[in-house]
Amino acid sequence: MKFSEDIFSKDIFFEMTCLTESSTNISGRYLHNKFKGSDKRYIGQALQKFVDYNRVNFAFLNVTPIISGSDANTTLSFRSDKFVGTIPLRSPDTGKQIGDFVVSPRFLARKDRFTDYIEIIDLISKKIEPEFKDTIPLVSGRNLSPPLYFEAVKYLKLLNELVKTNWKKFQTNEKTYDFPKSQINWNNYLKREFDPTYKLKFPCKENILSKFHLEYFEIKYVYEFAKNEINSVNTPQKIRLSVDSLISYLDNKLKNFNAIETKIIKIKNSDPIIVKHVKIQANKILQNNIQINKAWRVDFSDVFEKYVQYIFKNISSEIGGHLLTNYRLKKSSHFSPLWSLEHLEPDAMLIKDDLMIFIDAKYKSHLYNTTSISDFLKEEHRHDIHQILSYCSFDLNKNKIGILCYPSYQVDFQFLNYTNQHNKVINKIGLLGVPLNKSKINDLKSLMIKEISNLEPNTNLILNN
């Protein structure tokens, strides 16, 4: 595949998707022009120096640089893993920044880097947060940082619950009376008691139970910040429209509250549950704003795993089953070499009467390459099959099945049957194509409910013991 230099911009050195075995090639001659201090006779050495100089940041994203060719024909390409994120890169000759390296999500339906991703994260409601690394600031700044508008939307939804409660706190105010009342502020009294007209004017402190207190004012500040983030150009229009009415409602509810700037909101043990949730989310937004220009990454295989769990949890509820997620099958042997596994952990187990389904989510490209004869795909699939079969061995029920879930463009479900010719025992493994698209969930659920209903009767189903 030829490399086009047009994909470079001032801020982006290179962009690729995760789970890419080999990216497009960058010509050594082009990179020589970016490394202005390098000798064009030794392009290969300059590229190696560049790779070594940025090795720590490449390792953070699990990106492997690959140098090929020699002399003037030297090229640079990259292999990416399961992480998405952004890192800053420096030129090896001057140490100056030459742009950011971006790994974006793979297998999503829309061209926008994060719209589908945000919809999925919003659905699964699990704790999946970016991991940051202390580096020089990203050249691209907020443009290629993790999407803060997702956290902002979550904050608005929590705040919507809070404003419907009667959250009040005691506020200490000072008011002047013609007689001593409560605690008198003698320092203020002495400042003007020399004036006869103020002899009988007593500045008294009063504790008043009110919803207009400092903590609410700080929460209002974070609300204004979150609202500005949602209304910014960084937020897809679909996201903005989805919370437009909620913002109007909160604006009306909070219009009489002041906004007091803060870097962190203190969480107290005495806070009601909803207040704690709002404060936690508020601090998350404040912290993200501090880290917004740092290198970051998200393990997208973790996102896919929790997305699959979310789908099967809904399926389980609809068919009257029971879903166990990340259930640990523990080792009980006394013999324990250091390299042995302490437990096995299928992503999910669906139990319905006499039917047991073991589910494993694999964020891999197999269903996008069904006609490929790649050795890499074969070895990865061999590992996946062995893993799901090992899970299936932990149930005595004959009516059991393993399902491997791979991302795909369309909903699809096919069986792989492995037969022992000696005793005619058949192992049945399902391959499920899971589109990373919220609009396809209902189709997937309908298909799997139908397939599960076909599996429930024990007719013609012979599985291993």
* Tens-place pLDDT, residues 379-437: 888 999 988 988 888 776 667 789 999 998 889 999 888 777 777 677 789 999 999 88
Q: 7 pLDDT exceeds 60?
A: no
Contacts of 452 (CB under 8 A, 6+ apart): 315, 319, 350, 352, 355, 357
**pLDDT for 48:** 87
16-25, 85-94, 177-186, 321-330, range with the lowest pLDDT: 177-186
| Statement to judge: residues 42 and 61 lie in one domain | yes
CA dist 58 → 2, 50, 81 (Å): 23, 11, 11
CB 431 within 8 A of CB 401: no
**pLDDT for 457:** 58
Residue 443, domain CATH: 3.40.91
CB 305 within 8 A of CB 321: no
Q: 149 pLDDT exceeds 90?
A: no
- Domain assignment present for residue 415? The answer is yes
| Statement to judge: residues 177 and 233 lie in one domain | no
**pLDDT for 207:** 74
The two structure tokens encoding residue 102? 């971006």
Kindly report, residue by residue over 17-52, the tens digit of the pLDDT: 888 888 888 887 777 777 765 566 677 788 888 899
Of 52, 86, 104, the residue at which a domain comes to its end is 104
Q: What is the pTM of this model?
A: 0.71
123-132, 226-235, 303-312, range with the lowest pLDDT: 123-132
Q: What order of strands is seen across the sheet that includes strand 75-79?
A: 26-27, 75-79, 64-68
| Statement to judge: residues 265 and 192 lie in one domain | no
The two structure tokens encoding residue 441? 């969930």
| Statement to judge: residues 161 and 173 lie in one domain | no
- Domain assignment present for residue 78? The answer is yes
Please state, as a whole number, how many other Cβ atoms lie within 10 Å of the Cβ of residue 69: 15
- Domain assignment present for residue 129? The answer is no
Quote the CA–CA distance of 132 and 265 in Å, as a whole number.
21
Kindly report, residue by residue over 314-353, the tens digit of the pLDDT: 999 999 999 999 887 776 667 667 666 676 788 999 998 8
Quote the CA–CA distance of 295 and 100 in Å, as a whole number.
9
| Statement to judge: residues 323 and 268 lie in one domain | no
| Statement to judge: residues 156 and 39 lie in one domain | no
| Statement to judge: residues 313 and 401 lie in one domain | yes
Quote the CA–CA distance of 141 and 81 in Å, as a whole number.
24
What total number of domains does the chain contain? 4
**pLDDT for 462:** 37
User: Higher-confidence residue: 251 or 459?
Assistant: 251
Share of the chain above pLDDT 70, in %: 84
Of 259, 291, 323, the residue at which a domain comes to its end is 291
Q: 359 pLDDT exceeds 90?
A: yes
128-132, 141-145, 440-444, range with the lowest pLDDT: 141-145
| Statement to judge: residues 38 and 59 lie in one domain | yes
Work out the pLDDT band at 291, boundaries 50, 70, 90.
low
- Exposed/middle/buried for 386, CB within 10 Å: 0-12, 13-18, 19+? exposed
- Domain assignment present for residue 122? The answer is no
- Please compute the mean of the pLDDT values over residues 2-8 and round it to a whole number: 38
Quote the CA–CA distance of 456 and 398 in Å, as a whole number.
11
The two structure tokens encoding residue 110? 């829309």
Q: Find the domain containing 176 and state its range.
A: 169-210
Of 210, 241, 262, the residue at which a domain comes to its end is 210
- Domain assignment present for residue 121? The answer is no
Closest by CA to 46, choosing from 14, 12, 74, 82, is 74
- Domain assignment present for residue 126? The answer is no
**pLDDT for 109:** 65
- Domain assignment present for residue 112? The answer is no
**pLDDT for 65:** 93
| Statement to judge: residues 395 and 321 lie in one domain | yes
- Please compute the mean of the pLDDT values over residues 188-196 and round it to a whole number: 73
**pLDDT for 240:** 86
- Please compute the mean of the pLDDT values over residues 59-69 and round it to a whole number: 91
| Statement to judge: residues 258 and 150 lie in one domain | yes
* 436 DSSP β-pair partners: 108
Region of 30 (left: φ > 0; alpha: ψ -120 to 50; beta: rest) is: alpha
**pLDDT for 183:** 72
- Please compute the mean of the pLDDT values over residues 153-179 and round it to a whole number: 85
| Statement to judge: residues 265 and 384 lie in one domain | no
Quote the CA–CA distance of 172 and 227 in Å, as a whole number.
30
* 417 DSSP β-pair partners: 428
The two structure tokens encoding residue 200? 């009988």
**pLDDT for 78:** 94
**Mean pLDDT, the chain, whole residue set:** 82
| Statement to judge: residues 183 and 93 lie in one domain | no
Quote the CA–CA distance of 395 and 412 in Å, as a whole number.
26
Kindly report, residue by residue over 227-256, the tens digit of the pLDDT: 998 998 778 787 888 899 999 999 999 999
CB 271 within 8 A of CB 216: no
Work out the pLDDT band at 6, boundaries 50, 70, 90.
very low
- Domain assignment present for residue 127? The answer is no
179-188, 355-364, 371-380, range with the lowest pLDDT: 179-188
